[in-house]
């Protein structure tokens, strides 16, 4: 069967005005993830990312040969917009800047989004589900045998939940576990996709690299 490896982008800029940029740690995580795949003999014959800078830069820092393709279906949901919808435009500073408060609040907010309880979000939950399914089809409707995708935590959560036919809440529970530059693996054939491994970070599991393990 053909293989799909989905890597989450490296660490971005949590709490800063522009989140969509890799930190120095993020670049290093991406480089190590590329090295880890090469060390396993896993070299992609197709490269895909979302259109976000943190995703593009991660793919390029992994240093595989080939011309990357892009599909906006692999972009993260707009968490800033969902929080603004929840708080009617006035997101508390702690929710923006304190990791624990931010992710606890984001979990509740995504659950409200899934239940269509947020006021006029930029993208509905149903639209998100549809575009992630389209992005998965784009990546796997191919003659390539080893497809590498760089995406984001929420999209990876949705790929895992949807291919496992899990309840929608599982998307967010998985989202919150997905580490920066972690490797989630699927096999695919004739339109069917199965998950075979999730959230692996062999490149960050050594004593000399474990300080680079981050969730945000
Ligand atoms: O902020 C994050 O951790 C997630 C939001 O779930 O997005 P991304 O994976 O794009 O960083």
Q: What is the pLDDT of residues 111-139, one digit of tens each?
A: 999 999 999 999 999 999 999 999 999 99
Pocket test for ligand 1, best of 175, 178, 180, 184 (most atoms within 8 A of CB): 175
Pocket test for ligand 1, best of 10, 12, 56 (most atoms within 8 A of CB): 12
Confidence band for 32, pLDDT divided at 50, 70 and 90? very high
- Tell me, what's the pLDDT at 16? 94
- Tell me, what's the pLDDT at 135? 98
Query: Cα(154) to centroid of ligand 1, in Å?
Result: 6
Label residue 69 exposed, middle or buried (CB < 10 Å: 0-12, 13-18, 19+): middle
Q: Which of 11-47 are b and which e, b meaning 16 or more Cβ less than 10 Å from the residue's Cβ?
A: bbeeeeeebbebbebbbbbbbbbbebbeeeeeebebb
**pTM of the complete model:** 0.98
Query: Cα(85) to centroid of ligand 1, in Å?
Result: 17
Q: What domains are there in the chain, each with its CATH number?
A: 2-76+128-212 (3.40.50.1240), 78-122 (no CATH)
For a pLDDT cut of 70, what percent of the chain falls above it?
Answer: 100
Give ipTM to 2 decimals. Answer: 0.94
């Amino acid at each position: 069967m053909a293989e799909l490896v989905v890597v989450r982008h490296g660490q971005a800029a949590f709490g800063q005005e522009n989140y969509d940029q890799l930190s120095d740690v993020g670049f290093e995580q991406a480089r190590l993830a590329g090295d880890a795949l090469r060390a396993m003999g896993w070299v992609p014959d197709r490269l895909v990312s979302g259109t976000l800078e943190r995703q593009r830069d991660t793919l390029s820092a992994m240093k595989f040969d080939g011309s990357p393709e892009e599909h906006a279906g692999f972009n993260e949901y707009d968490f800033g917009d969902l929080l603004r919808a929840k708080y009617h435009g006035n997101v508390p500073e702690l929710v923006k800047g304190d990791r624990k408060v931010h992710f606890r609040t984001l979990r509740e907010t995504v659950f409200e989004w899934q239940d269509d309880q947020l006021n006029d979000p930029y993208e509905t939950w149903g639209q998100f589900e549809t575009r992630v399914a389209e992005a998965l089809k784009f990546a796997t409707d191919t003659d390539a045998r080893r497809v590498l995708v760089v995406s984001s935590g929420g999209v990876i959560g949705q790929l895992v939940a949807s291919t496992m036919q899990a309840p929608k809440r599982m998307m967010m529970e998985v989202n919150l576990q997905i580490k920066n530059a972690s490797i989630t693996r699927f096999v695919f054939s004739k339109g069917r996709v199965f998950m075979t491994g999730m959230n692996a970070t062999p490149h960050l599991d050594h004593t000399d690299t474990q300080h680079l393990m981050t969730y945000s």
